[in-house]
Copies of this chain bind each other. A is one copy, B any other.
């Protein structure tokens, strides 16, 4: 399951999407909206995506994981629209025969998602200001990883 959604994301749904009788290890990552960024109070977040391309890129990341670790049960979801503090913005689940690979694969999926999946975050601060978030320096130093 690779999905951009305006609905609330729960850990349970990504978990269910990867459950399999032959895979005894499920590793799940959930990113939630924090009440501050570097100490500055956040009112809420807004995410925008290019849905068809985002879902295509998620599926490509899953394919990379299958090639690297032989893992076949992978789910990725990302929320768009207005998100309140504490809500889940991104969820990744991986079910694998071995837990070590599961941890590696889940971490890898998150790293790649931040590199190549076309989704953008806008921070709306408690003081009313708002801005599209600029990526961290690493992004600019490694543009080749995006293509």
Q: Are A11 and B28 in contact (CB under 8 A)?
A: yes
Alpha-carbon distance A30/B32, docked complex (angstroms): 19
> Given contacts A15-B11, A103-B106, is CB(A32)–CB(B26) below 8 Å?
yes
Q: Are B27 and A28 in contact (CB under 8 A)?
A: yes
A86-120 CB contact bits vs B (8 Å, 1 = yes)? 10000000000001101100110010000000000
Chain B binder among A17-25, A54-62, A125-133, A135-143: A17-25
Q: Are B21 and A85 in contact (CB under 8 A)?
A: yes
Residue of B nearest to A32 (CB): B24
Complex copy number for this chain: 2
Alpha-carbon distance A35/B21, docked complex (angstroms): 6
Chain B residues in 8 Å Cβ range of A22: 34-36
Residues of A whose CB lies within 8 Å of any CB of B are 10-12, 15, 19, 21-36, 85-86, 99-100, 102-103, 106-107, 110
15 other contacts beyond A11-B11, A22-B35, A23-B34, with CB at 8 A cut-off?
A: A10-B12, A11-B15, A11-B26, A15-B30, A21-B35, A21-B86, A24-B32, A24-B34, A26-B30, A26-B31, A26-B32, A27-B29, A28-B28, A100-B107, A103-B106
